[in-house]
Structure 1
Amino acid sequence: MNTTADTSATDPPDGSVPNGPFYHGTKADRSAGDLLQPGYRSNFGEREKANFIYLTATMDAAIWGAELAVGEGPGRIYRVEPTGPIEDDPNLTDQKFPGNPTRSYRTRQTLRVVDEVRDWQGHPPEVLEAMLAHVAELKRRGIHAIND
């Protein structure tokens, strides 16, 4: 089933659970009903074991996840449902940007794959190359993902 992003939704101002739909970008090949869980090596920094799994409510952030993921094969984007509480991703929120403009979250619980989004388009090659250079520079400078 093809899915499109709902980019008009915003997070509730009272701090309750944000509005979905939610997406997860990766290179892992999964199917509807599969559970995605934390505990695998991170795609970023020193690739240490990730204590969280990440999700977003914007297609653009999911596309970045799919494009920047480590591994073989094509990037994939899944529509997912969190099975437990989620929180703002501190790697992309108040520590780097005010608020949560990318609507990026993380959880210590599993994410259930609802379906794969097949009709997405990646960033232009020059934009992707610039982001890859930026990620490489962060790694060179020893800046790692917040994992606690």
Structure 2
Amino acid sequence: MAEPLDGGPFIHGTIAELGVGELLTAGHRSNYRPEIVMNHVYFTALIDGAGLAAEIAAELSGGAACPRVYAVEPTGAYENDPNVTDKKFPGNPTRSYRTSAPLRIIGEIPEWTRLTPEQRQLWRERLSVLLSKEGGEIIN
């Protein structure tokens, strides 16, 4: 696998309410395939990519949770996310990464691009395919 492209700053989208200094750790269920416990924590260098992840997590919670976007710093080694790198996109244009080490929260980012109702519906449709057996594998 190629070396990660950049050194950040890095962003993580979630529905968890977290404070500065708290750690995001692996071992939680996937936002996309809840039957899978993830071995990694995922993050990006693109704020709207993290916002999308937060919106998807909120959508999968039934809309009961608030999407949140955080600035984070890896506490250990990280790699390009193999779920998108060279599998769906050549290189790493999404600037998506993963780590088995915790990510430290360094602050919440209140301003990011939210999905429109039309985009939310499109993602509902995409998620129904993703969550089906035909939706593909997650490289964990």
Q: Determine the structure 2 residue equivalent to 1:3.
A: none
The secondary structure found in structure 2 opposite 1:84 is coil
| Letter paired with 1:61 | G
Q: Which has the higher helix share?
A: 2
Q: Could you say if the C-alpha distance between residues 17 and 138 of structure 1 is closer, same or farther in structure 2, counting changes exceeding 3 Å? A: closer
Q: Determine the structure 2 residue equivalent to 1:146.
A: 139
For structure 2, the 5+ residue unaligned runs are none
Using the size of structure 2 for normalisation, the TM-score is 0.88
For structure 1, the 5+ residue unaligned runs are 1-13
Equivalenced residues, count: 134
Is it true that 1:26 corresponds to 2:14 in the alignment?
yes
Is it true that 1:38 corresponds to 2:26 in the alignment?
yes
Using the size of structure 1 for normalisation, the TM-score is 0.84
| Letter paired with 1:131 | W
| Letter paired with 1:146 | I
- TM-fit CA distance, 1:46: 4.3
The secondary structure found in structure 1 opposite 2:55 is helix
Is it true that 1:65 corresponds to 2:14 in the alignment?
no
* C-alpha RMSD over aligned residues: 1.7
Give the alignment partner of residue 54 of structure 1, picking from 32, 42, 47.
42
Matches within 5 A, 1:1-148: 15=3, 18-69=6-57, 70-71=60-61, 72-140=64-132, 141-147=134-140
Aligned-partner Cα distance in 2 for 1:85–1:97: 22
